Amino acid sequence: MRSPPDTMFDAGGALIVGAGLAGLFTALKMAPAPCAVLSPDPLGAGASSAWAQGGVAAAIGVGDSAEAHARDTVAAGAGGVDPDVALAVAREAAARIDDLLEYGAPFDRDAEGRLAQSREAAHSFARIVRVKGDGAGAAIMAALIAAARAAPSITVVEGVRAGDLLVEDGRVAGVMAARSDDPYGEPLVFRARATVLATGGVGGLYAVTTNPPSVRGAGLGMAARAGALISDPEFVQFHPTGLAVATDPAPLASEALRGEGATLIDATGARFMPAIHPDAELAPRDVVARAIHARVSRGEPVFLDARQAVGARFPERFPTIAAHCRAAGIDPAREPIPVAPAQHYHMGGVRTDARGRSSLPGLWVCGETARTGLHGANRLASNSLLEALAFGARIAGDLQGIEPTAAPRRTPRPAPLPSRDAAAVDIAAETAALRRTMSDLVGVERDAEGLTEALRRIAAFERAAAPRSRDCLNMAAAATLIAAAALRREESRGGHWRRDFPDTGAGPASTDITLAEALAIRDAAETDTR
């Protein structure tokens, strides 16, 4: 482990930006090849992976198959999944579970010693490998952190937040960064022969999210600003059952609860999902989220009722959710849990190929920052951790074959930022306003009027806050991509639902966009007088 360097650091091999599951797993699979991992926080803090409740989807049960898993993935993705990617990843799942077991992941087992598996929405089999019901993310991260600390090939640099990709002669050669506790201090330069972005998703761009608020599109923004091709940023998944309590972030009531038989009810105690979809509470997430959103937006509360399905076993079966409920004054064994949709996952991201390579030479992308073709317009539950594992292993294998090249020695300097006592802009207030805009206007349901207004507000945020913060500049870029692509897609598909274009099938299942194209859409929105 290292503290941030004085000014410049040569990774000596690969530089992995981000220390969640995708970043750490990539680093571990690279061994014994050297790499450096940058983390803005101490390991284990601030990573969305540690908050994952469900587990890892893997077709390893009796009667299940990779082909069935791939079919479920394609069906959930609303036409946007690459079927070859889905099948290949499903076939790799068993090997990746073996990797995690080797690193010490304490997966649940049944009475015969086999890995226990639960069922989640839109899966045709119980295939979610889990830890203590709802603790998979934290347990897997703890195991990977311990393994990374013990690995001599991995150098972890904590307390550093990347802000820009370093591009020289058309190739990504590392990142420009700053100390997390001193963003206006001396810039830090991290050079590398290969750079891997694994910085997580965009949850912190939304006011209501199940993700750490600090995870707010940094990797997406950095890559887009450097010219990387972005795919499907409009496809944002909203988890149907965030706890409807006044906390930031919103605690999550795992889909595994509905897999165990918990039902969604209205204030009268009546179920409503059977009339909406044949799979009722286990319908695809976008269907369930919209059904709940329709009621909540009318002022009608919705509840998740686990009293009969789980009852007194709740604290033992789902200890994480039980703790969140207790903190909110709810006894889930005796009373229904108030729920509402919350931003949960970003299916779009930096476009990558089957090896995790982006459109920029020298840049690989992994985890939620990437768009690999696995998720389409609506991610199948618990495929996110699997994707991070599968592509982390692929990237590690690809990097083994990269010929070492001497890193350029000149030291670049980024555009200067104002000093910490510069003319005041309340960045916290500006950020809160941006997050509210994204939840209100680029949320579960969208329309042209709201998206146009959102783009205007994002532009105003960029003018006010971005000149004083590279973090804000990346946030503005990521938010612009999401809202501009959503305005451009005049249909509804998966996690992207347009009130003014409710039909699916009018547009291509997947599209690419650059930041320059998104900014042109934003510029047009600013001049729109409707």
Tell me which residues are annotated as active site.
285
* Residue 128 structure tokens: 């979610």
Distances (CA, A) of 194 to 4, 30, 35, 88, 356: 20, 12, 9, 25, 12
Judge contact between 476 and 468, C-beta under 8 A: no
| Element spanning 226, H or E | none
Judge contact between 502 and 450, C-beta under 8 A: no
158 phi/psi in degrees, rounded to 5: -100, 160
SS3 266: coil
Task: Please choose, from the candidates 176, 230, 227, 220, the residue with its C-alpha nearest in 3D space to the C-alpha of residue 198.
Answer: 220
Q: How many CA atoms, within 13 angstroms, populate the side-chain half-sphere of residue 113?
A: 0
| Per-residue exposure over 101-111, b if at least 16 CB sit within 10 Å of its own CB, e if not | eebebebbeee
Contacts of residue 526, defined as CB under 8 A and 6 or more positions apart, other chains included, come to 455, 456, 459
Rounded Cα distance, 455 and 462, in Å? 10
Say what angle helices 136-150 and 83-103 make with each other, to 10 degrees: 70
Amino acid (1-letter code) at residue 55: G
Q: CA 388, 173, 477: angle at the middle one, nearest 5?
A: 65
- 529: buried, middle or exposed (CB in 10 Å: 19+, 13-18, 0-12)? exposed
Judge contact between 428 and 214, C-beta under 8 A: no
Rounded Cα distance, 522 and 2, in Å? 41
Say what angle helices 83-103 and 66-76 make with each other, to 10 degrees: 120
Rounded Cα distance, 464 and 472, in Å? 10
Contacts of residue 114, defined as CB under 8 A and 6 or more positions apart, other chains included, come to none
Residue by residue, what is the 3-state secondary structure of 280-307?
HHHCCHHHHHHHHHHHHHCCCCEEEECC
